Amino acid sequence: QVQLVQSGAEVKKPGASVKVSCEAFGYTFTAHYIHWVRQAPGQGLEWMGRINPNTGATNYAQKFQGRVIMTRDTSISTVYMELSSLRSDDTALYYCTRGGGDVWGQGTTVSVSS
């Protein structure tokens, strides 16, 4: 069964970093981009960036440039999204999704609070 399984909820203090994982099952990991999308409470979807699991090449939204790093480990079919210098407005549900948008992870809640 094709699915993306994300790591569990995180609680962080302002200024800290968070690293969320997304493990792929049921398809060829290197054949599809993985995108990261976040959704603040009561707000819309916001694209953060994408990674090519085959080459490791990344593209980031301008808003997150310098603060986000996406990586992958092909040996375990997993991609990672690390967001640094966290602020309270980074509190959101973070999703990974396969390149065509047809498969989504369950979401990972990241809460930033002092």
Partner 1 sequence: QSALTQPASVSGSPGQSVTISCTGTNTDVGANDFVSWYQQRPGKAPKLMIYDVSERPAGVSNRFSGSKSGNTASLTISGLQAEDEADYYCNSYATIRTWVFGGGTKLTVL
Closest distance to partner 1 from the beta carbon of 12 (Å) = 22
| SS3 of residue 55 by DSSP | coil
Phi and psi at 33, nearest 5°, equal: -55, 155
Distance of CA 42 to the CA centre of its chain: 19
Instruction: Look up residue 96 and give its two tokens.
Output: 């990974």
CA dihedral over 26, 29, 33, 35, signed as positive or negative: positive
The footprint of partner 1 on residues 75-114 (CB under 8 A) is 95, 97, 100-102, 104-107
Taking residues 38 to 77 in sequence order and writing x for each that binds partner 1 by CB under 8 A, - otherwise, the string is: ------xxxx-xx--------x-xx---------------
- Cα–Cα distance for residue pair 67/63, rounded to 1 Å: 9
Binding mask 3-42 for partner 1 (x = CB under 8 A): --------------------------------x-x-----
Which residues would be at the binding site for partner 1 (CB under 8 A)?
35, 37, 44-47, 49-50, 59, 61-62, 95, 97, 100-102, 104-107
